[in-house]
């Protein structure tokens, strides 16, 4: 249409030839040829020439353009008329074409015919002089009677110029010929033209093929597009060099939806094999051809085929090949590959920005990937695109999908590394999104995704430019200053890693990091330690790049040290010690002269240490913290030898002077208790030996602490506090270890030396002491225990047998003193022990007095407060002692005569923050067997042989500590967000040394101990097996050592807890930790049979499972049984086969434990909240692993509970001994929950189901409804409010599942299975009626806990009635439905008169109240009656 307008505008007024001047602008149209109208240059006359002249076109020779004297339309009209009116028509047409062929045999003349004509010169200002004129060939193509022959002639001529390329005048003849065919007003034979074009494509060179293919949409009419698309599709499969032009043509063709899908499928199959530079065009075509119906499928397919990793690899391969040929061209392929990938991503970005369906489809495609190996680089890149564009709110979706994938372990750090490594240039454009995602992940309360956010930060810092690095550091500093504990920890750790890996780059941003010093108020001591380690590494690193912040750090530390506020002084001590670690670090020979510290630096270090020491002497807590910090420094840093020697010398001298005294014949001084030398392991060296001067120091410390205003003379003198004893010894021990390479011979006398204490018989009369004396004695015991704990820390790694024997003896001393301490603490309410861990706020340590009072409340109220007070888990070892105490208390209710014998103290689990932390290496003591030594008499003859071994008390002591460490280190941390209310206790107190080890280190250490743990487990098993055989299975037989049995039972449980926590470590699910998991399983499997050939993981899991199953016969308590079952469940989850084996044996084991009677050592039945919690977990495991949950519930409800109802008041069910009136609620709640969960998983009924399938589904629902009915009816016997609450809650959930999944089945099964449906509805009607009665009862009771469930339940009951009506209507039985009123009754079936309506007095038995608007609540009865018309029979009632 646009061309016609141009032509019409160029027609002259008189219709005759117009003489036109060609302006300069038209010279370019004729490829620079001047228009000359010389008559002598005309072509010799012929039919062809003559007719053209008569029609208005004059042919010229040479380089002159043909002239046209009339408008183009007029010319075509005249030519058509001349041809038709000629007497020789139609043969004249052939002559005309022959003349045309003869004329264009000359290449010059052919060019003239293909180039635009020029208007003949005429009067200036003629309108046609400004119009564009077509070429002669195009004018001839516009004449229908000539068109086909002209096209044939052109196609015959075209091959002559196929291989010539572009001529001297810049013309490409084949391309110009193809252009003549574009946009013709009418094509006589499109099909023939299309065939000729495709034939030409098959023989033409690649360049001409591309020209023809890209011109096809402009040549063909719409009706030909479908056929041409198929041909192009076929060509695409054959020749991948034509991908771009074919896709270009296909994009412009008008195709049907089906054909487009077919073509897109073919194009999709070429994605993996297409040339790299063509990939963006292919992706663009695919994404632009998507419709809403197939978007998900197409994008998912494209994602699978888009291998960007191969793009980078292929480009690297090309680069390496080209480098061999020409080193100059090495970078070209790499650049082109990155450009191509960038173009592909830009196309995806454009698509998701403008089409909502594509952004949603990409999210779904990534979300649906369920295997780790299936995730690709493109997934990460597309998520960044979706986040950066935020088209259609895709940012939130991208964050959600990324978090879910990271949490599930499907997108891992290795994939992120690959993405940054291969596509750093592309990812730089998405840096804001990378930063935002990293921030979101680091702030996430889900600890599983936090490390991934940290990794994003590290990769961004490493891969990008300085601007990005600055942003990364700034963002991490913001995290540190946020005050959220978990966030601060991770950000500091990341900054430390960046400093160690990229010190030069990080030193440029030291000023940013220094800004954190203004926000130290909110940092914990551990975080302050990391911060100063970070800053001092920057300031005093070997390269000195960050030296400009040294002065600032010195100023800050001096200011903090001089503060009188303990918090700030603590910051100063920690900061100063960390600075010493960096300044005095051991240097390599390359870094300094001979590898020694420069004198000036050495002077600065010693000066700083002297300053810290002098500033901390005024406070015992500050001094102890200084010693602990120095000890940690020695343990974690390699200090310069000169600095080490200086520290070691001063420490040894001061310790001897402060705490060690020589033993004399008597101890002089006034003390609150008579002094006595206790716990001497070196009896033969009693004369002239040494002792720890504890009691005298404590006596001096009491008045010193009471007097807050110390005189100047006293202040100048150095005060020694027993608070520093353990900390100072730790520092001394580590100095000795460092200087003597682990040998402690210089200080080994301290292991066996006695302490100056008092006689422990004081404990027996502790009640008669004054409050001050009691508290003094308690503190003495705390100091003594902490000294022994630190001694055990020091010498536990020594190999000498005598040393080992003394270490075990010290453990025995600890366990004995702990029993004394329990008794004393019980008599000292409100007492706060001396601190033992100094790198924490004083408020962080739980005040034991409040815990004790809450524990006492817990014994009176059966509400579980006791467990909260002990701050421990259901299965935690922290509460074992407390639970034992409770059990003994409960047994004493029945046996008051035992009360005096079994007087119980306070649980020390509440006081553990006040004990020194045991190093994890102390667990090596578990490997000790029986140790012995000979004691010599005065004549050096062997007098007696002393044997020592770990007893049950020591075993429980070590295992409790080990379990606590594993639980802290290996169990996934809960939410890291700061709580709204400040919590009293910091869970990290007492784990300072452990926090320096990674989870992997702790797990590895534990696996090394596995053989020993298995040995102890087998010993416990053998102990109880022997015990049961000797006592003929009677647990509470006469002559049983109750204390020993309780300790062995605790040890058994703790061993299983340790194994359970170890194997539950989330790290084992990571591929890189599979080797570690396999080594752990090998230990368990080897206990069953000797190691054979290399076994698979599944084989090892099965053997380990079978090994642990052997312990089922001797577990002494239900909690231990639960630990064993949970351990087996965890192991089975690692398996990839034998699911039925594990499921069957786990269910069998749980059932075995449930059907066993559990009795305490004292003979009483196990009871209490912990017992009920364990029973709940065990029953849940049984029903989860049972083959058929419905049958399992039916068995318990049908057999066990009737037995309980018929049994005596305190008796249990005969077949299920754990089912008693006290545990009925536990059973009931679990059965209701699992019943509802199982029906929720049932498949819904479908119309396409066969009769057999429908029958099977109906059978399942019948069983479920019957179980539900049986459980609801139990309320008539057990009508407590807790049971009612369970009924109302799960009753509604069951009803909703039935409406959603069961009713569709009844819709389609009604006609085929009338009797089954009738039976099911009858049974369910009884249940709904019972639920209605419960609603009425709840209103009478006016119990909000019950009435809260009523509205939602009433709504579901009403929905059920009308849903049944809809089902009957669907099956043409609506006449069988009738609605009545149902009376409100209580649980006993009696009518509730207060809820009786006026109308209901005249109703039948099936009556109920109407809606509130009429002061009634509608309840309906539905009855499906015999229907003559439909021959259906059913008389079930439905009530709501």
- Confidence band of 122 (pLDDT split at 50, 70, 90): very low
Average pLDDT, the chain: 78
Given a contact cutoff of 8 angstroms between Cβ atoms, the answer to whether 363 and 401 are in contact is: yes
Report which secondary-structure segment, H or E, holds 936. Answer: strand 931-936
Please, which residues have CB within 8 angstroms of residue 696's CB and are 6 or more apart in sequence?
661, 667, 669, 671, 675, 756
Given a contact cutoff of 8 angstroms between Cβ atoms, the answer to whether 1053 and 1123 are in contact is: yes
Q: If you average pLDDT over residues 296-324, what whole number do you get?
A: 67
Q: For residue 633, is it left (φ>0), alpha (ψ between -120 and 50) or beta?
A: alpha
Reported as a single tens digit per residue, the pLDDT across 799-858 is 888 888 999 999 999 999 999 999 999 888 888 999 988 877 665 555 565 444 444 433
Q: Report which of 1353, 1229, 1346, 1368 is spatially closest to residue 1295, judged by C-alpha positions.
A: 1353
Given a contact cutoff of 8 angstroms between Cβ atoms, the answer to whether 360 and 392 are in contact is: yes
* Separation of alpha carbons 1102 and 1081, rounded Å: 9
pLDDT at 541 over 90: no
pLDDT, residue 1229, reads: 92
Mean pLDDT lowest among 44-53, 858-867, 947-956 = 858-867
Q: How far is CA 1053 from CA 175, 1033, 1042, 1179, in A?
A: 88, 20, 17, 19
Please, which residues have CB within 8 angstroms of residue 178's CB and are 6 or more apart in sequence?
208, 211, 212, 215, 219
pLDDT at 1168 over 60: yes
Mean pLDDT lowest among 124-138, 474-488, 1266-1280 = 124-138
pLDDT, residue 431, reads: 93
What would the two tokens of residue 994 be? 């452990």
- Confidence band of 168 (pLDDT split at 50, 70, 90): low
Given a contact cutoff of 8 angstroms between Cβ atoms, the answer to whether 118 and 30 are in contact is: yes
Given a contact cutoff of 8 angstroms between Cβ atoms, the answer to whether 572 and 563 are in contact is: yes
Q: State the burial class of residue 1247 (Cβ atoms within 10 Å of its Cβ: 0-12, 13-18, 19+).
A: exposed
Given a contact cutoff of 8 angstroms between Cβ atoms, the answer to whether 1295 and 1357 are in contact is: yes
* Separation of alpha carbons 569 and 561, rounded Å: 5
* Separation of alpha carbons 494 and 923, rounded Å: 31
Mean pLDDT lowest among 21-35, 100-114, 535-549 = 21-35
Bridge partners (DSSP) listed for residue 1408:
1382
pLDDT at 787 over 90: yes
Q: Most confidently modeled of 303-312, 603-612, 929-938, 1236-1245?
A: 603-612
Given a contact cutoff of 8 angstroms between Cβ atoms, the answer to whether 739 and 644 are in contact is: yes
Q: Tell me if the bond preceding 90 is cis, omega within 30° of 0.
A: yes
DSSP 100: H
pLDDT, residue 572, reads: 92
pLDDT, residue 1416, reads: 33
Q: Report which of 773, 743, 772, 744 is spatially closest to residue 758, judged by C-alpha positions.
A: 773
DSSP 89: T
Full-model pTM: 0.74
* Separation of alpha carbons 1179 and 944, rounded Å: 55
Better-scored residue on pLDDT, 979 or 745: 745
pLDDT at 610 over 50: yes
How much of the chain, in percent, has pLDDT values that exceed 90? Answer: 20
Pairing mode, strands 118-119 and 67-68: parallel
Given a contact cutoff of 8 angstroms between Cβ atoms, the answer to whether 1050 and 958 are in contact is: no
Given a contact cutoff of 8 angstroms between Cβ atoms, the answer to whether 1317 and 1261 are in contact is: no
Report which secondary-structure segment, H or E, holds 1001. Answer: helix 999-1030
DSSP string across 767-801: GGS-HHHHHHHHHHHHHHHHHHHHHHHHHTT---H
* Separation of alpha carbons 936 and 1401, rounded Å: 102
Pairing mode, strands 675-678 and 755-758: antiparallel
- Confidence band of 286 (pLDDT split at 50, 70, 90): confident
pLDDT, residue 1408, reads: 34
pLDDT, residue 1033, reads: 56
pLDDT at 319 over 50: no
Better-scored residue on pLDDT, 546 or 770: 770
Q: How far is CA 714 from CA 423, 659, 695, 1379, in A?
A: 69, 19, 21, 96
Radius of gyration of the chain (CA): 46
Q: If you average pLDDT over residues 1242-1271, what whole number do you get?
A: 84
Better-scored residue on pLDDT, 316 or 167: 167
pLDDT at 947 over 90: no
How much of the chain, in percent, has pLDDT values that exceed 70? Answer: 79
Bridge partners (DSSP) listed for residue 755:
678, 692
- Confidence band of 1080 (pLDDT split at 50, 70, 90): very high
Reported as a single tens digit per residue, the pLDDT across 983-1009 is 445 567 778 888 888 888 999 999 999
Report which secondary-structure segment, H or E, holds 759. Answer: none
* Separation of alpha carbons 865 and 857, rounded Å: 7
pLDDT, residue 1231, reads: 93
Better-scored residue on pLDDT, 317 or 520: 520
Per DSSP, helices labelled H in 827-932 are 848-860, 865-869, 880-894
Q: Report which of 578, 600, 781, 791 is spatially closest to residue 681, judged by C-alpha positions.
A: 791
* Separation of alpha carbons 650 and 630, rounded Å: 13
Reported as a single tens digit per residue, the pLDDT across 1059-1075 is 999 999 888 887 778 88
Q: How far is CA 295 from CA 281, 291, 298, 378, 445, in A?
A: 18, 6, 5, 18, 34
Mean pLDDT lowest among 567-576, 704-713, 823-832 = 704-713
Q: Most confidently modeled of 71-75, 195-199, 320-324, 1399-1403?
A: 71-75
* Separation of alpha carbons 603 and 580, rounded Å: 11
pLDDT, residue 574, reads: 92
Given a contact cutoff of 8 angstroms between Cβ atoms, the answer to whether 537 and 500 are in contact is: yes
Q: If you average pLDDT over residues 1353-1366, what whole number do you get?
A: 83
Q: If you average pLDDT over residues 1109-1125, what whole number do you get?
A: 92
- Confidence band of 879 (pLDDT split at 50, 70, 90): very low
- Confidence band of 1383 (pLDDT split at 50, 70, 90): low
pLDDT at 227 over 90: no
Euclidean distance between the first and final Cα of the chain, in Å? 73
Mean pLDDT lowest among 411-415, 846-850, 1255-1259, 1340-1344 = 846-850
Given a contact cutoff of 8 angstroms between Cβ atoms, the answer to whether 1379 and 1357 are in contact is: no
pLDDT at 877 over 70: no
* Separation of alpha carbons 503 and 705, rounded Å: 47
DSSP string across 897-955: GGTTTT-----GGGGGGGSPPPPGGGGGGGG---EEEEEE-TTS-EEEEEEE---HHHH
Q: Which residue has the tokens 């202040």?
A: 715
pLDDT, residue 1436, reads: 37
pLDDT, residue 718, reads: 62
Reported as a single tens digit per residue, the pLDDT across 189-212 is 878 888 888 888 878 887 888 888
Q: Measure CA 1434 to chain center.
A: 54
State the SS3 of 1096-1121.
CHHHHHHHHHHHHHHHHHCCCCHHHH
Please, which residues have CB within 8 angstroms of residue 105's CB and are 6 or more apart in sequence?
none
pLDDT, residue 1419, reads: 38
Better-scored residue on pLDDT, 865 or 425: 425
Per DSSP, helices labelled H in 1186-1313 are 1189-1195, 1201-1206, 1224-1240, 1251-1273, 1281-1297, 1303-1309
Better-scored residue on pLDDT, 767 or 1413: 767
DSSP 872: -
pLDDT at 422 over 80: yes
Reported as a single tens digit per residue, the pLDDT across 1284-1330 is 888 889 888 989 888 888 888 888 777 777 788 878 888 888 888 88
- Confidence band of 639 (pLDDT split at 50, 70, 90): confident
* Separation of alpha carbons 1285 and 1280, rounded Å: 9
């Amino acid at each position: 249409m646009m061309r016609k307008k141009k032509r019409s505008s160029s027609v002259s007024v008189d219709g005759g030839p117009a003489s036109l001047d060609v302006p300069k602008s038209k010279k370019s149209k004729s490829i620079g040829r001047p228009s000359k109208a010389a008559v002598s240059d005309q072509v010799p006359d012929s039919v062809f020439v003559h007719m053209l002249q008569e029609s208005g076109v004059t042919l010229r020779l040479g380089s002159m353009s043909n002239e046209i004297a009339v408008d183009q339309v007029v010319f075509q009209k005249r030519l058509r008329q001349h041809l038709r009116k000629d007497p020789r028509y139609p043969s004249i047409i052939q002559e005309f074409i022959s003349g045309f062929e003869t004329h264009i045999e000359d290449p010059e003349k052919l060019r003239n015919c293909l180039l635009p004509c020029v208007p003949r010169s005429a009067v200036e200002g003629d309108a046609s002089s400004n119009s564009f004129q077509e070429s002669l060939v195009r004018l001839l193509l516009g004449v229908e009677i000539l068109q086909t022959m002209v096209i044939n002639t052109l196609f015959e001529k075209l091959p002559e110029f196929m291989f010539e390329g572009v001529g001297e005048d810049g013309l490409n003849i084949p391309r110009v010929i193809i252009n003549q065919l574009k946009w013709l007003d009418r094509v006589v034979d499109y099909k023939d033209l299309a065939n000729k074009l495709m034939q030409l494509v098959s023989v033409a060179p690649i360049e001409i093929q591309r020209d023809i293919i890209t011109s096809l949409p402009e040549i063909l009419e719409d009706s030909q597009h479908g056929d041409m698309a198929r041909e192009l599709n076929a060509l695409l499969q054959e020749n991948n060099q034509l991908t771009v032009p074919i896709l270009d043509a296909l994009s412009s063709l008008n195709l049907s939806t089906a054909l487009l899908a077919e073509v897109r499928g073919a194009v999709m199959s070429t994605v993996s094999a297409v040339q790299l530079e063509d990939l963006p065009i292919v992706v663009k075509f695919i994404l632009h051809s998507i419709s809403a119906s197939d978007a998900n499928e197409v994008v998912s397919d494209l994602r699978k085929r888009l291998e960007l990793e191969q793009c980078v690899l292929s480009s690297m391969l090309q680069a390496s090949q080209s480098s061999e040929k020409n080193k100059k061209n090495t970078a070209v392929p790499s650049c082109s590959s990155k450009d191509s990938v960038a173009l592909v991503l830009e196309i995806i970005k454009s698509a998701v920005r403008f089409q909502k369906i594509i952004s949603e489809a990409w999210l779904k495609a990534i979300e649906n990937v369920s295997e780790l190996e299936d995730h690709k680089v493109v997934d990460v890149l597309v998520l960044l695109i979706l986040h950066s564009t935020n088209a259609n709110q895709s940012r939130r979706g991208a964050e959600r999908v990324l978090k879910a994938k990271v949490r599930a372990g499907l997108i891992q750090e290795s994939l992120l590394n690959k993405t940054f490594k291969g596509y750093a240039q592309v990812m730089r454009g998405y840096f804001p999104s990378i930063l935002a995602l990293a921030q979101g992940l680091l702030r996430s309360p889900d600890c599983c995704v936090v490390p991934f956010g940290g990794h994003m930060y590290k990769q961004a810092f490493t891969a990008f430019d300085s601007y990005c690095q600055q942003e990364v550091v700034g963002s991490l500093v913001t995290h540190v200053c946020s005050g959220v504990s978990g966030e601060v920890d991770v950000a500091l750790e990341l900054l430390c890693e960046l400093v160690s890996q990229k010190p030069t780059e990080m030193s440029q941003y030291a000023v940013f990091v220094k800004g954190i010093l203004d926000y130290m108020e909110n940092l914990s001591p551990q975080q302050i330690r990391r911060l100063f380690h970070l800053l001092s590494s920057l300031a005093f690193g070997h390269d000195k790049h960050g030296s400009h912040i040294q002065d600032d750090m010195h100023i800050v530390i001096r200011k903090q040290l001089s503060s009188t506020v303990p918090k700030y002084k603590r910051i100063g001590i920690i900061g100063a010690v960390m600075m010493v670690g960096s300044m005095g670090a051991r240097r390599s020979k390359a870094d300094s002269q001979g590898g020694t510290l420069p004198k000036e630096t050495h002077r600065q270090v010693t000066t700083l240490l002297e300053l810290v020491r002098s500033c901390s002497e005024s406070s015992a807590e500050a001094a102890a913290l200084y010693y602990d910090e120095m000890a940690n420094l020695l343990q974690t840093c390699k200090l310069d030898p000169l600095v080490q020697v200086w520290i070691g010398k001063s420490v040894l001298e001061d310790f001897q002077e402060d705490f060690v005294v020589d033993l004399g014949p008597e101890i002089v001084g006034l003390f609150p208790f008579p002094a006595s030398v206790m716990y001497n392991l070196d009896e033969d060296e009693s004369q002239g030996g040494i002792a720890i001067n504890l009691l005298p120091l404590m006596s001096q410390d009491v008045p010193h602490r009471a007097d807050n205003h110390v005189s100047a003379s006293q202040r100048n003198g150095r005060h020694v506090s027993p608070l520093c004893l353990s900390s100072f010894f730790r520092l001394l021990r580590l100095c000795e270890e460092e200087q003597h390479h682990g040998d402690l011979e210089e200080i080994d006398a301290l292991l066996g030396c006695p302490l100056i204490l008092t006689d422990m018989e004081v404990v027996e009369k502790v009640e008669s002491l004054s409050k001050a004396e009691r508290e003094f004695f308690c503190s003495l015991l705390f100091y003594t225990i902490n000294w022994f704990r630190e001694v055990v820390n020091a010498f536990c790694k020594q190999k000498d047998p005598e040393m080992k024997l003394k270490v075990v003896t010290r453990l025995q001393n600890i366990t004995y003193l702990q029993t004394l301490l329990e008794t004393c603490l019980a008599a000292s309410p409100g007492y706060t022990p001396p601190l033992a861990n100094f790198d924490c706020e004083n408020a962080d340590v739980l005040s034991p007095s409040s815990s004790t009072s809450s524990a006492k409340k817990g014994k009176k109220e059966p509400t579980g407060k006791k467990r909260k007070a002990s701050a421990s888990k259901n299965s935690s070892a922290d509460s074992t002692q407390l639970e034992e105490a409770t059990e003994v208390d409960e047994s004493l209710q029945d046996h008051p005569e035992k009360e005096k014998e079994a007087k119980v103290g306070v649980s020390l689990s509440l006081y553990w923050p006040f004990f020194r932390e045991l190093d994890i290496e102390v667990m090596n003591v578990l490997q000790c067997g029986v140790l012995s030594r000979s004691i010599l008499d005065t004549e050096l003859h062997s007098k007696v042989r002393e044997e020592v071994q770990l007893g049950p008390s020591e075993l429980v002591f070590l295992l409790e500590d080990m379990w606590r460490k594993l639980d802290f280190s290996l169990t996934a941390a809960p939410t890291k967000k700061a709580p709204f209310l400040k919590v009293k206790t910091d869970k990290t107190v007492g784990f300072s040394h452990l926090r320096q080890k990674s989870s992997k280190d702790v797990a590895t250490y534990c696996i090394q101990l596995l053989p020993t743990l298995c040995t102890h487990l087998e010993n416990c098993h053998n102990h109880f097996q022997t015990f049961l055989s000797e006592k003929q299975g009677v647990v509470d037989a006469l002559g049983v050592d109750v204390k020993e049995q309780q300790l062995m039972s605790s040890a058994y449980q703790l061993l299983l807890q340790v194994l359970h926590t170890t194997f539950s470590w989330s790290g084992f699910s990571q591929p890189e930790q599979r080797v570690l998991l396999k080594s752990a399983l090998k230990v368990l499997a080897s206990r069953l049979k000797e190691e054979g050939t290399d076994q698979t993981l599944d084989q090892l899991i099965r053997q380990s499972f079978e090994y642990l199953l052997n312990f089922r016969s001797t577990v002494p308590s239900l909690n231990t049984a639960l630990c064993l079952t949970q351990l087996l469940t965890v192991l089975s989850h690692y398996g990839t086969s034998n699911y039925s084996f594990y499921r069957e044996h786990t269910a069998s084991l749980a059932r075995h434990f449930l059907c066993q009677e559990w009795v305490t050592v004292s003979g009483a039945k196990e009871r209490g909240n912990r017992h009920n919690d364990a029973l709940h977990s065990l029953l849940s495991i049984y029903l989860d692993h049972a083959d058929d949950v419905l049958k399992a519930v039916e068995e318990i409800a049908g057999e066990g509970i009737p037995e309980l109802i018929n049994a005596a008041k305190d008796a249990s069910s005969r077949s299920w001994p754990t089912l008693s009136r006290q545990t009925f609620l536990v059973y009931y709640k679990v059965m209701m929950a699992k019943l509802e969960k199982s029906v929720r998983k049932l498949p819904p009924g479908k119309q396409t189901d066969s009769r057999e399938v429908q029958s099977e589904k109906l059978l399942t629902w019948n069983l479920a409804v019957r179980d539900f009915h049986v459980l609801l009816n139990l309320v008539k016997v057990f009508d407590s409010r807790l049971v009612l609450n369970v009924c109302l809650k799960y009753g509604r959930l069951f009803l909703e599942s039935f409406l959603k999944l069961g009713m569709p089945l009844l819709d389609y099964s009604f006609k085929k299975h009338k009797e089954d449906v009738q039976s099911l509805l009858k049974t369910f009607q009884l249940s709904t009626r019972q639920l209605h009665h419960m609603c009425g009862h709840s209103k009478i009771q006016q119990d909000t806990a019950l009435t809260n469930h009523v509205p939602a339940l009433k709504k579901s009951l009403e929905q059920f009635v009308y849903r049944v009506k809809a089902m009957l209507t669907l099956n043409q039985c609506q006449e069988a439905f009738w609605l009545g009123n149902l009376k409100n009754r209580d649980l006993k079936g009696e009518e509730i008169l207060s809820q009786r309506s006026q109308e209901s007095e005249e109703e039948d038995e099936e009556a109920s109240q109407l809606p509130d608007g009429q002061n009634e609540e509608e309840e309906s009865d539905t009855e499906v009656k015999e229907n003559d018309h439909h021959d259906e029979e059913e008389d079930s009632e439905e009530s709501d």
